């Protein structure tokens, strides 16, 4: 569809990749799935739909670089517990009883929340195949999907999960909004031999990797005991870092770990709410930025956050490091904006397609209402996104050139049905 | 007006003050300004208005225990700056040019934001008299107002501000939603002799105190240099702690400082966003709680936060201390709920009137929509308020028995006019 968005305050990239974002009032034209022009209409352009941008803000759709969508129905069911009580007392028993259909409805609820708060693309690690993928496809979302892989050496279980991952990828080849990565779960659920197999598989299949790394002190201690090295060093020596690599968490990393990641172009996803909530602490985000590591932002799953709202995470990532570093200049709103947009796109190898408002890129966009107390007066929209917005300012979402949400109503999902089904799941297995 | 709220999930106090909150579906009846009954209707009750509580959550209105409302138009105008550049480069020049009328519109914008996110009572320190007070009175809000007092010894400037504070209090005697405190600004703007005068004045006038205390390292260093003691010790020795006392911030406090505050029943307002954003760090909230200090939550002003959304602060207060203490059990959602409600009421000496849903108390209430991704499924509403809500779930607000907001529309303020005026202020002086 040809869409024109007129007279809208728009966040555009700076003149160079390092320059601050530019915010200016302009017009934007969408043809098919892509941004066709900014400012002047393309030749022979006839808008089938025109959106009035008065008192609105146009931003690139946000990218949630680490989540587990299926968990959304578990939100607020296991809080203020020790890690062991949280995992083995509450989450694990629910997961054991969860069906594929439950995972699908969980993913639908997650996508509803993400879309409503301006996210247009997410990077997911799931334990049931086909379900989050199905929800993403139906909802119009852009997504990168990893089936969580767990295994020891060349064991049957690991091989079988890998086959599932390939089967899923092949089943969704018709949907170009979906891409797939291999998802070794973590150093404590995959042994070194299995990680080496996955590194080779990823090479052969030309796939990127998405893995939990260096989340907790216990993980580091066990890795040192088992392998005599840090999780980052283990990932490097198994060859995994030779592939495009997304490392979720990296809370407990050494200076040398950061150098290794910088050298290999590893992207780090910081998940501030989850890392605090589970008592893991604060990732050294300013230090990783200083080393040139591409840092982006994730929500993690709703069992450990409990929201999937990237605006909330932007607020956290800008505030907490100012607190830990006693510096009001640490991790700026501009930094958080990049992390939630273009850095996420880079991490997912989607930089050419999404993450900024540029002619030729996919039209993945969010339109926010400015006339609300959290955004008014319009003194600095980039600062507002991190420091005063809640996420509920998002009115309209466009993904791949399709309007998936309009006037705060998601058009691609049956919201009432999702509420009905997810409540029923928790009644049954919660 | 007689109001009935039917069939609504309600957060009620536990059986003892220490017991966890109870969440149950019930009916609530309001007569005049007060809660007349919970469960069974009072005899001869005829509802003039009935609210259907299906899929809604009823909570006591939140209490923002420290803010500077007039600053709301400055939101997002001075971020990611050093403290000196923030204050002297941006905020101070705007304040110098600000008129009383500007302060009034700033307060209106602040109240709009607070009410929309479920706050029904706020504790304000203002620099222009009559303006925030006027906005609070017109909007139907409950408020505790302090005129910020600055002075040296018995100087004319200090005396004149004190007279202003009394004049304002006397001018609003007709509005029982408003109470007044004396507001010595801080140890670095009031000298010891002036603080002693204020302690005596507060005693004579039977007023409480609201003061910034121990916010930054610089404040502590200067206080030690000037007085050979900490700001907390200074406040104690001037006699200020003999009055009901609200200490805003208390980021940099010693163990002995905390003992002093506990001994005198001082209430501490933690302002997590502001303390992080200005690079001051994290208040030792878990330690203060352990000492039995009454801790409540504030947003601070919009120049240093930049939101006035108590739900956001609840999220921060539950998360950041889990991060600093590496403990998922540190500062629970239940703790945050108390801080934002009954603890705030205690701090403001309004415990008998507000802060919980109990028969005989003022009807200060917020009704939230549960059928939205941030609150669904309804696994634990108290956890949801801290860990997944954004504040935009609030649909209806009742203060002093009056419906001030309904279906997300504030009935007592002219929203469009507030947007118009606050934008114009920043065009003129921003």
- Mean pLDDT for A411-426 is 98
| Alpha-carbon span B183 to A130, nearest angstrom | 61
Record: contact B79-A332, CB cut-off 8 A: yes
pLDDT for the residue A84: 87
- Mean pLDDT for A422-430 is 97
Contacts of B217 in chain A (CB under 8 A): 326
pLDDT single digits (tens) A260-274: 999 999 999 999 999
Tell me which chain B residue has its CA closest to the CA of residue A333.
Answer: B80
pLDDT for the residue B83: 85
Q: How far is B320 from chain A (nearest CA, A)?
A: 6
- Mean pLDDT for A245-271 is 98
Contacts of A333 in chain B (CB under 8 A): 79-80
Tell me which chain B residue has its CA closest to the CA of residue A391.
Answer: B390
The tokens for B387 are: 């860990």
Q: Which of B143, B77, B78, B79 is nearest to B108 (CA)?
A: B143
* Backbone angle region of B131, left / alpha / beta, with phi > 0 → left and psi within -120 to 50 → alpha: alpha
Question: With 90 as the cut, is the pLDDT of residue B18 above it?
Answer: no
Question: With 90 as the cut, is the pLDDT of residue A83 above it?
Answer: no
Q: Which of B112, B329, B374 sits opposite A82 (nearest CB)?
A: B329
Q: How far is A239 from chain B (nearest CA, A)?
A: 32
CB neighbourhood size of A153 (10 A): 12
Question: With 90 as the cut, is the pLDDT of residue B158 above it?
Answer: yes
| Alpha-carbon span B385 to B376, nearest angstrom | 11
Record: contact A76-B384, CB cut-off 8 A: yes
Among B328, B331, B423, most A C-beta atoms within 10 A, so best to mutate, is B328
DSSP state of B41: P
- Mean pLDDT for A166-193 is 97
pLDDT for the residue A159: 95
Question: With 90 as the cut, is the pLDDT of residue A179 above it?
Answer: yes
Q: Which of B295, B296, B299 is nearest to B114 (CA)?
A: B299
Question: Which residues, at least 6 apart from B336, have a Cβ–Cβ distance to it below 8 Å?
Answer: B297, B314, B317, B318, B385, B386
- Mean pLDDT for B270-285 is 97
Pick B360 or A87 by higher pLDDT. Answer: B360
pLDDT single digits (tens) B117-136: 999 999 999 998 999 999 99
Question: With 90 as the cut, is the pLDDT of residue B17 above it?
Answer: no
Here the ipTM equals 0.97
Question: With 90 as the cut, is the pLDDT of residue B286 above it?
Answer: yes
Among B139, B309, B373, most A C-beta atoms within 10 A, so best to mutate, is B373
DSSP state of B46: -
Helix, strand counts (H, E) of chain B = 16, 17
Q: Give me the domains of chain A, ranges plus CATH numbers.
A: 3-60+358-410 (2.30.40.10), 62-347 (3.20.20.140)
Q: Residues A311, A313, A120, A37: is their CA dihedral positive or negative?
A: positive
Question: With 90 as the cut, is the pLDDT of residue B265 above it?
Answer: yes
| Alpha-carbon span B65 to B67, nearest angstrom | 7
Q: How far is CA B339 from the centre of its chain?
A: 10
Q: How far is CA A36 from the centre of its chain?
A: 26
Pick A128 or B284 by higher pLDDT. Answer: B284
Record: contact A373-B113, CB cut-off 8 A: yes
Contacts of B302 in chain A (CB under 8 A): 388
pLDDT for the residue B84: 87
Q: What is the CA radius of gyration of chain B?
A: 21
pLDDT for the residue A275: 97
Q: How far is CA B386 from the centre of its chain?
A: 16
What predicted TM-score, i.e. pTM, was given to this entire model? 0.98
- Mean pLDDT for B400-419 is 98
pLDDT band at A369 (very low <50, low <70, confident <90, very high): very high
| Alpha-carbon span B347 to B355, nearest angstrom | 10
Q: Which of B77, B324, B381 sits opposite A379 (nearest CB)?
A: B77
Contacts of A273 in chain B (CB under 8 A): 315, 319, 387
SS3 (DSSP) at B124: strand
Record: contact B279-A330, CB cut-off 8 A: yes
pLDDT for the residue B241: 98
Per cent of chain B over pLDDT 90 is 98
Using CA atoms, how far residue B361 sits from A167, A232, B50, B136, B176, in Å, is 62, 57, 20, 20, 14
pLDDT single digits (tens) B373-391: 999 999 999 999 999 999 9
pLDDT for the residue A174: 96
pLDDT for the residue A17: 86
Question: Rounded to the nearest 5°, which phi and psi values hold at A126?
Answer: -120, 160
| Alpha-carbon span B177 to A412, nearest angstrom | 47
Q: Which of B276, B278, B322 sits opposite A276 (nearest CB)?
A: B322
Record: contact B307-A279, CB cut-off 8 A: no
Strands (DSSP E) contained in B139-207 are: 142-149, 178-184
């Amino acid at each position: 569809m040809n869409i024109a968005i007129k007279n809208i305050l728009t966040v555009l990239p700076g003149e160079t990749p390092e320059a601050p974002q530019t915010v200016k009032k302009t017009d934007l034209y969408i043809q098919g799935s892509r941004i066709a022009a900014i400012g002047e209409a393309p030749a022979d352009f006839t808008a089938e739909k025109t959106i009035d941008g008065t008192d609105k803000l146009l931003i690139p759709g946000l990218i949630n670089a680490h989540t587990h969508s299926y968990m959304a129905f578990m939100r607020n069911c296991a809080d203020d517990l020790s890690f062991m009580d949280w995992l083995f007392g509450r989450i694990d028993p629910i997961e054991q009883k969860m069906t594929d259909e439950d995972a699908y409805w969980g993913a639908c609820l997650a996508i509803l929340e993400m879309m409503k708060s301006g996210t247009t693309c997410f990077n997911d690690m799931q334990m049931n195949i086909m379900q989050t993928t199905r929800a993403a496809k139906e909802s119009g979302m852009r997504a990168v999907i990893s089936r969580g892989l767990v295994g020891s050496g060349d064991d049957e279980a690991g091989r079988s999960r890998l086959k599932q991952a390939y089967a899923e990828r092949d089943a969704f080849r018709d949907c170009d909004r979906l891409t797939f990565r291999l998802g070794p779960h973590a150093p404590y659920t995959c042994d070194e031999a299995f990680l080496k197999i996955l590194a080779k598989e990823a090479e052969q299949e030309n796939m990127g990797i998405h893995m939990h790394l260096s989340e907790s002190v216990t993980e580091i201690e066990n890795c040192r005991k088992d392998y005599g090295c840090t999780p980052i060093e283990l990932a490097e020596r198994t060859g995994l870092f030779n592939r495009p690599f997304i490392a979720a968490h990296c809370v407990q990393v050494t200076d040398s770990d950061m150098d290794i990641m910088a050298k290999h172009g590893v992207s780090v996803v910081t998940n501030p709410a989850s890392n605090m909530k589970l008592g893991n602490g604060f990732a050294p985000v300013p230090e990783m930025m200083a080393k040139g590591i591409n840092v982006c932002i994730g929500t993690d799953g709703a069992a450990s956050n409990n929201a999937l709202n990237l605006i909330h995470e932007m607020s956290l990532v800008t505030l907490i490091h100012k607190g830990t570093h006693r510096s009001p200049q640490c991790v700026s709103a501009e930094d958080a904006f990049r992390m939630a947009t273009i850095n996420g796109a880079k991490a997912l190898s989607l930089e050419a397609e999404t993450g900024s408002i540029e002619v030729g890129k996919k039209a993945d966009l969010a339109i926010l209402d400015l006339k609300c107390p959290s955004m008014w007066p319009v003194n600095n929209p980039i600062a507002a996104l991190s420091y005063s917005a809640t996420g509920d300012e998002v009115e309209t979402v466009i993904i791949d050139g399709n309007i998936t949400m309009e006037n705060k109503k998601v058009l691609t999902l049956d919201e009432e049905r999702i509420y009905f089904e997810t409540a029923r799941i928790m009644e049954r297995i919660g």
